[in-house]
């Protein structure tokens, strides 16, 4: 069983990265093979609305997203982790999400994704500096629709308010424990 972790923060030693590592550690404890992708290190052009994907579900842009399509399709479970930037996910993560339109085409137009009826589950991890009630609303909607497009069920999330400084999350052992547990549960299907 493979779990793909997508790290959407551009910051080194980011809170998101620390939380994602914990979740992947939990998934590994539950027996999964885990892989982490740092999207800020990749070249992912935003969607250009060429719609070449409508033909065969493949995007015509030649960049690092090419490898990611295969990883997104092959993973049994997916963890998307991104901090909140202006009430949404980061631009890096959003570019990946928008480019998954090619997989939306495979699922909804060509009907070639999801045919095997595997139940693939997704976990969303996010962190923001402020404490507003609606802090995660926009990001959660984006990620729910992203998971649906890639044929992954939105199985849960870990949304943490009031964390701002680099690596500050490490001072919150309770949140790290939650990430570890959620990673384990993602694989165990709890
Ligand atoms: C460009 C930018 C936009 C941000 N927008 C928000 C925001 O809308 N709401 C919020 O609570 N925090 C916002 N933040 C703060 C980050 O969410 C916060 O610092 C978080 O801990 C960063 O996580 P990371 O270390 O994983 O990158 C923003 C930070 C940056 C750099």
Q: What is the pLDDT of residue 82?
A: 98
Q: What is the pLDDT of residue 118?
A: 83
Q: What is the pLDDT of residue 122?
A: 98
- Backbone CA torsion sign across 132, 83, 121, 181: negative
Give me ligand 1 centre to Cα 170, in Å. Answer: 16
Q: What is the pLDDT of residue 116?
A: 85
Give me ligand 1 centre to Cα 32, in Å. Answer: 30
Q: What is the pLDDT of residue 117?
A: 80
Nearest atom (ligand 1) to Cα of 161:
11
Q: What is the pLDDT of residue 159?
A: 98
Q: Is 83 in the pocket of ligand 1 (CB under 6 A)?
A: yes
- What count of Cα atoms within 13 Å lies in the side-chain half-sphere of residue 3? 31
Q: What is the pLDDT of residue 19?
A: 98
Q: Is 163 in the pocket of ligand 1 (CB under 6 A)?
A: yes
Give me ligand 1 centre to Cα 40, in Å. Answer: 15
Beta strands at 153-160 and 33-38: parallel, antiparallel or unpaired: unpaired
The encoded tokens of residue 105 equal: 């085409």
Q: Is 100 in the pocket of ligand 1 (CB under 6 A)?
A: no
Percent of the chain with pLDDT over 90: 96
Cα separation, 35 vs 153, in Å, equals 19
Q: What is the pLDDT of residue 177?
A: 98
- What count of Cα atoms within 13 Å lies in the side-chain half-sphere of residue 83? 24
Low-confidence ranges of the chain (pLDDT < 70): none
Q: For domain 2-188, which architecture applies?
A: 3-Layer(aba) Sandwich (3.40)
């Amino acid at each position: 069983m493979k779990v793909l972790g997508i790290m959407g923060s551009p910051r080194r030693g980011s809170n998101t990265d620390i939380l994602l590592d914990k979740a992947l550690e939990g998934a590994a404890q539950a027996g999964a093979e885990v892989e982490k992708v740092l999207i800020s290190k990749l070249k992912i052009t935003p969607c250009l609305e060429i719609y070449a994907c409508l033909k065969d579900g493949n995007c015509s842009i030649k960049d690092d997203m090419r490898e990611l399509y295969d990883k997104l399709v092959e993973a049994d479970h997916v963890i998307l982790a991104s901090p909140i930037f202006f009430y949404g996910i980061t631009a890096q993560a959003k570019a990946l999400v928008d480019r998954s339109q090619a997989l939306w085409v495979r699922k909804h137009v060509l009907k070639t994704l999801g045919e095997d009826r595997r139940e693939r589950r997704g976990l969303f991890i996010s962190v923001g500096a402020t404490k507003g009630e609606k802090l995660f609303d926009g990001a959660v909607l984006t990620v729910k629709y992203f998971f649906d497009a890639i044929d992954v069920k939105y199985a849960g999330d870990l949304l943490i308010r009031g964390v701002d400084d680099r690596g500050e999350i490490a001072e919150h052992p309770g949140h790290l424990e939650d990430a570890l547990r959620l990673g384990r549960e993602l694989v165990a299907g709890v």
